[in-house]
Amino acid sequence: MWVYEKKLEYPVRIKTPNPKLAKYIISQYGGPDGELAASLRYLSQRFSMPTNEAKGILNDIGTEELAHLEMVGTIVYQLTRGVPADVLERAGLGAYYTDHDHAVYPMGASGTPFTAAYIQSKGDPIADLHEDLAAEQKARATYENLINLADDPDVIDPLRFLREREVVHFQRFGEALRIVQDKLAEKPFYVKKPDCMNPVYKR
């Protein structure tokens, strides 16, 4: 089960609102390579992992992604806090304001609401871990795009932290994949009872 800690994993203190940037960054909240998809993906896949190392890494990265979801939500919130409707509209957030006002809603940069179709949970640990490696790279690339679009150091700093975590997660998933592959490649070891122990032959 989970317990909430009343702090962010890494500080977010944005002094100047910037709704245009919020429109893009929300993609890491509820978009195709976002933190919500990442967390749900790992926390769903962990059940069918064959080794304790893989169960642990999916459990704990899936948990950390929830902390990242909170950070991204905080960035979006602080970038739009107190911004009037007409300014939001000029920043391209008129449709968003219509449906969600100043709330934080899980969707991608293009406005598509979050969907579980972004993730897979295949029951095949090799397939699942390869998806996870790809997911971390896609999220890293998205954070790099966002850093290119941002000009405020208060925004760039937490984005850089989140980008680095994607790199670390990729490394750990690679190690988990190797451990799982080694385990699956082990020669199966059978213990067969001698026939004389079998009641059918005993008579």
Partner 1 sequence: MDPNQAKLLKEVMAADFTLIDLNLYLNTHPYDQNTIMLFNNCAQRAKMLRNQYEKLYGPLTVQNSPYKCPWQWINSPWPWE
Task: Give the binding site for partner 1 (CB under 8 A).
Answer: 1, 3, 46-47, 52-53, 55-56, 59-60
Q: Which residues of 68-86 are buried (b: 16+ CB within 10 A; e: fewer)?
A: bbbbbbbbbebbbeebeee
Report in angstroms how near the CB of residue 43 gets to partner 1 at its nearest. Answer: 11
Q: Is 102 annotated as a binding residue?
A: no
Residue of 202, 138, 123 whose CA lies nearest to 170:
138
CA atoms of 74 and 16, how far apart (whole Å): 14
DSSP 137: H
* Main-chain dihedrals φ then ψ at residue 113, nearest 5 degrees: -65, 155
Q: Is 64 annotated as a binding residue?
A: no
For partner 1, the closer of residues 56 and 92 by Cβ is: 56
HSE (CB half, 13 Å, CA atoms) of 94?
4
Q: Is 5 annotated as a binding residue?
A: no
For partner 1, the closer of residues 46 and 68 by Cβ is: 46
Q: Which two tokens stand for residue 166?
A: 């994607």
Q: Is 136 annotated as a binding residue?
A: yes
For partner 1, the closer of residues 1 and 196 by Cβ is: 1
110 SS3 class? coil
Report in angstroms how near the CB of residue 5 gets to partner 1 at its nearest. Answer: 10
Q: Is 169 annotated as a binding residue?
A: yes
CA atoms of 79 and 53, how far apart (whole Å): 39
Report in angstroms how near the CB of residue 177 gets to partner 1 at its nearest. Answer: 16
Q: Is 65 annotated as a binding residue?
A: yes
For partner 1, the closer of residues 49 and 79 by Cβ is: 49
For partner 1, the closer of residues 10 and 105 by Cβ is: 10
Binding site membership for Ca(2+): which residues?
A: 60
Binding site membership: which residues?
A: 35, 60, 65, 68, 136, 169
Binding site membership for Mn(2+): which residues?
A: 35, 65, 68, 136, 169
